[in-house]
Amino acid sequence: MAIILIVHLVVSLFFIVDPPLLRGTRLSKIYKSYLLPGPFFSDAKIIDNYRLHVSWKVNDQWSAPRDYAMENFRSYQQKINPSSLYRSRLERTLYLKLLLPYENQEPELIKRKEFAPFIEYLDHYFLPIEVDSIRLSFVHKRAVDFTIKSDTAIYMINR
């Protein structure tokens, strides 16, 4: 067990240093997203910050918006529970893949290939069974030259 831990720490240190040779590889992206211990920040993550607030409607009442990825990250910080950090990273990955624009992206949100896995995840872990509508508020904050610009896109999903 000690050997596995030492190998993991050496490999983690290697990816923290971020050699140019492996920077864009799939292995590098997976390791940095899911296996690298601790929250290490890059310039891009500091300049561009993305958050997703989810709320739902049951019996004509909207719930308070919740940011599940941030809640799990705070849980990680308070309890030092690595599973909360990994859950936070997974949730961010799910919504960023769905909502960030990329080349040849389907214009309609519900027709994107990333939509079904994202909604299934929300249904399984967070949403009450009797939900009739879901509101996704995607907030993009950009910090440049001591100014912060914010942009919000709101998506309504009716069931």
pLDDT, tens digit (0-9, with 9 covering 90-100), for 31-67 = 766 666 555 555 655 677 888 899 999 999 999 999 9
Q: What's the pTM value of the predicted model, to 2 decimals? A: 0.67
- As a whole number of Å, the end-to-end CA separation of the chain is 48
Give the DSSP H/E element, type plus range, for residue 149. strand 147-158
- Contacts of residue 34, defined as CB under 8 A and 6 or more positions apart, other chains included, come to 86, 89, 90
Question: Would you kindly state where each structural domain of the chain is located, as residue ranges?
Answer: 1-37, 41-158
74 has a pLDDT exceeding 80: yes
φ, ψ of residue 102 to 5 degrees: the values are: -145, 170
- pLDDT for the residue 104: 81
146 has a pLDDT exceeding 70: yes
Q: What proportion of the chain, given as a percentage, has pLDDT over 90?
A: 13
- pLDDT for the residue 28: 74
C-alpha 112/C-alpha 116 separation (Å) is: 8
C-alpha 35/C-alpha 149 separation (Å) is: 31
